[in-house]
Amino acid sequence: MKIHDLLRKGSLHTAITLVVMGSATTLMGAAPALNGQFSLRPLTPTEIKTYSLTGMQGASGMNAVGVGQPAYLDALVNAAIAPSNIVSATFTLTGKPVGSAAVLATSPLGTNVPPGYPADRFNQAGVAASQVAGRAMLRPDMAGQYTVTLSIVTTGSGSTNLTQAITAGTYVGVQTCELCHSGGAVAKNEYGPWSTTPHATFFTRAIDGLESDHYSKNCISCHTVGYDTNTNAVNGGFDDVALGLGWTFPAVLTNGNWAALPGQLKNLSNIQCENCHGPGSEHAAALGNTNVTNWPRIGKTFLEGTCAQCHDSAPTHFKSAEWNNSLHARVTRTPSGAGRAACARCHTGGGFAQYADALANNVPYTTNNADTTYTSITCQTCHDPHDASNPHQLRTPESVLLADGLTVVTNAGAGTLCMNCHQSRNGSVSNSIVKYPVGQSTWAGGSAFGPHDNPASDMLEGVNGWTYGKVIPSSAHRGAVTDTCVGCHMQPVASGDPAFLQAGGHTWNMTYTNSLGASVDKVDVCIKCHGQMSSFDMVKIDYNGDGVIEGVQTEVQHLLDKLSTMLPPTNYVASGNYVADGLVKTSISTKTNWPVKFLEAGYNWQFVNNDLSKGVHNAAYAVGLLKASIADLTGDANNDGIADWWQTLYFGSTSNPAAAPNYSAAGDGIPNWLKYSLGLNPLVAGTVLPDGVVWANSTQNQNVSTNSIQIFTAAEVSFNTEVGKTYQLQAISDLGGGWANVGDPVVGTGESFSFMTPTRNNTQQYFRVSHTP
């Protein structure tokens, strides 16, 4: 396979064609979707180092660039398409200013340089998303509008034509921007709030020695406007004006340096409008011209490259590097685009910024004009570049209303921002139970059952589960962790830590992969309260009542598994006599025809399962919901294996010691659990005959007509014991599930011990005996 670059010079329609030569392979089944994209690729300081691109100009990836600065053009297609099936990716310069001699050139980015954004490299499952089908570069030589078209042709996956407008301009400085953006009829007041942000005064403070004693001229490219010393980039940036004025960086950082700075340079100093929006000459010149094309002729994007052009400069500026390793960077594209306005508020960067700003300004949020354009959840999504009113410039209101429509959280600190999305956005639990079966709307986007993925806020606060009218307690995390979500998920990680850039900070990850390839829980933040531990699966309580105290996450998973065995399978058919299949399920698919008891239990299973923490967020609430659901479906609230109604019928209450499973109420040596299983009266003594046969007067035979008799199968488990050891019989119907205790622990006597257990309700059953020590 060879890649040929074809450059046709001397024409306005200058083009670079990348052709993949080779025979097309035979497609098996449906061909992958094309997913063609025209990407303006950012290039950050860290990438320049990583890919040995020393001397190359960086790029923000915006569609507004300075004259003489590069726009790196990428043609992206689905990574699932075989390279041999990519026929061509052709870039053509179809428009440029009169007098411009600019042409498209071969991109200096090699094949080792991946697509510009994490979401284009891998999806949330870590599977490759896009591949580069072709590249080119445009370096505008004069201010004005440039138009580039891209034609992608494949074998089997179709073709597409895409167009990108690029504005080239010169830098005008904040004084020009201030003329319009200080409020009034022309534009919103962005200048006033921005002037109070740290960005607005960083260079001012730095050259006066107020930031660092080692601040130098090598730092100012990110703290001034349009700083680019490349000989092609003569565009009115700070470096160009400084050169013309003969200004040099001060030898000593001290008070007075800023005051002595010429006014022309003050106008281009600090991190201001054009750092993030690109050069403003075309925008300012076109103001008021309603016929101008490609208005506003300035960059305005939620893409990460805007911030990464400075904040991705290792080793000191690493927030972008952390973000690159987060799931926020690879948020799914599915809930974006036309018709997905109700989802865009949490699944697109611009959509959430609109939603958060509406909340902060007490303006009713509407999806009518929602920004559904796909971008990842980037810096600008959560941080407002123009406003420092909130800590860390977060777009956060003082409180958040959770999906139950009743709970208003006012003490979540910085975590309030997270709670706007990381909650059950499908509406209240009562809506799922009551409205879903009859097809009524359960949330703003329609009718859906169960909590949305990641209802962590509801879980943390201990709300919006189906409680069966019970008071279910909560763990202390919601009140004990400062800033709630942020307090744990953004824990600081030192640069020498193996978890650096993999966990904590802007990765929001609580686990990381060590040098041996093993997944490790980052428990440092937990140790402060819980003491020494190495895993979130810390051993605390036997939550599922199987007689074995395991880690909290393991215990919760056992409860999830147990509850799942009682829920209908996907192919459930409405029936008044439904009998659970007893199979452990890793997912459930509710149906409107499920009896309400299964909808209630199914909701709780989804709620705990979708939370993903397996009890870490709120163990007491998660366990309480699962046990309440199990009790409702089995009638066994105390989880001892015997129905509560049976114990209450014969012993007055489930707490009566005589009602215990291994107690022999009639004094005949036959335990209650066995008589319950066989449908026998526990108060009537039976006679134990040879070979384990029990003869008794029964008043509890189920579904048996008068003068009839039924004989059921049973299993005897016998084992030898040793003094000093304790034994526990356990049973399981499916080896993929969790083992359940049968009876109480047996203290070894040196003699054999025998258990008789019914098997008529099980198609298969496995037994084992564990012992300690």
In the chain, count of helices (H) and strands (E)?
26, 21
The per-residue pLDDT for 19 is 34
The per-residue pLDDT for 760 is 61
Count Cβ atoms below 10 Å from residue 634 Cβ, excluding itself: 17
Instruction: Provide the CA 232 distance to its chain's centre, in angstroms.
Output: 42
Q: Rg of the chain's alpha carbons, rounded to an integer? A: 34
* Pairing relationship of beta strands 3-7 and 14-20 according to DSSP bridges: antiparallel
Q: Which candidate, 450, 431, 433, places its Cα nearest to that of 442?
A: 431
Q: Name all contacts of 332-339 with Cβ < 8 Å and 24+ positions apart.
A: 332/123, 332/124, 333/119, 333/374, 336/372, 336/373, 336/374, 337/372, 337/373, 337/374, 338/372, 339/372
The per-residue pLDDT for 22 is 33
Q: Which residues, in sequence order, are CB contacts of 360 under 8 Å at separation 6+? A: 395, 396, 397
* Phi and psi at residue 689, to the nearest 5°: -95, 170
* Pairing relationship of beta strands 400-401 and 159-169 according to DSSP bridges: unpaired
Q: Which candidate, 703, 702, 661, places its Cα nearest to that of 682?
A: 661
Half-sphere exposure in the Cβ direction for 162 (13 Å, CA): 21
* Pairing relationship of beta strands 159-169 and 64-66 according to DSSP bridges: parallel
Give the DSSP per-residue string, 340-394.
-HHHHHHHSHHHHHHHHHHHHTT----STT-------S-HHHHB-TT--SSGGGB
Report the amino acid identity of residue 694: V
Report, in this order, helix, strand and coil percent for the chain, each rounded to 5.
Answer: 30, 15, 55
Instruction: Classify residue 35 by burial, with Cβ atoms within 10 Å: 0-12, 13-18, 19+.
Output: middle
Are residues 427 and 442 in contact, defined by beta-carbon separation less than 8 angstroms? Answer: yes
Query: Could you give the CA distance from residue 760 to residue 712 in angstroms, rounded to a whole number?
Result: 6
Instruction: Classify residue 43 by burial, with Cβ atoms within 10 Å: 0-12, 13-18, 19+.
Output: buried
Count Cβ atoms below 10 Å from residue 236 Cβ, excluding itself: 24
Report the amino acid identity of residue 214: H
* Pairing relationship of beta strands 86-95 and 104-105 according to DSSP bridges: unpaired
Query: Could you give the CA distance from residue 313 to residue 586 in angstroms, rounded to a whole number?
Result: 42
Query: Could you give the CA distance from residue 198 to residue 194 in angstroms, rounded to a whole number?
Result: 9
* Residue with token string 């299964």: 598
The per-residue pLDDT for 571 is 77
Are residues 472 and 627 in contact, defined by beta-carbon separation less than 8 angstroms? Answer: no
Query: Could you give the CA distance from residue 631 to residue 235 in angstroms, rounded to a whole number?
Result: 73
Q: Is 474 helix (H, G, I), strand (E, B) or coil?
A: coil
Are residues 62 and 299 in contact, defined by beta-carbon separation less than 8 angstroms? Answer: yes
The per-residue pLDDT for 7 is 29
Q: Is 501 helix (H, G, I), strand (E, B) or coil?
A: coil
State the maximum Cα–Cα separation within the chain, in Å, rounded to a whole number.
Answer: 114
Q: Is 167 helix (H, G, I), strand (E, B) or coil?
A: strand
Give the DSSP per-residue string, 273-288.
HHHHH---HHHHHHTT
Q: Which candidate, 174, 115, 104, 112, places its Cα nearest to that of 139?
A: 104
Report the amino acid identity of residue 480: A
The per-residue pLDDT for 188 is 87
The per-residue pLDDT for 707 is 44
Question: Which residues in the chain show pLDDT less than 50?
Answer: 1-27, 692, 698-709
Instruction: Classify residue 391 by burial, with Cβ atoms within 10 Å: 0-12, 13-18, 19+.
Output: exposed
Instruction: Classify residue 555 by burial, with Cβ atoms within 10 Å: 0-12, 13-18, 19+.
Output: buried
Give the DSSP per-residue string, 625-685.
HHHHHHHHHHS-TT-SSS-HHHHHHHHSSTT-GGGSTT--TTSSS--HHHHHHHT--TTS-
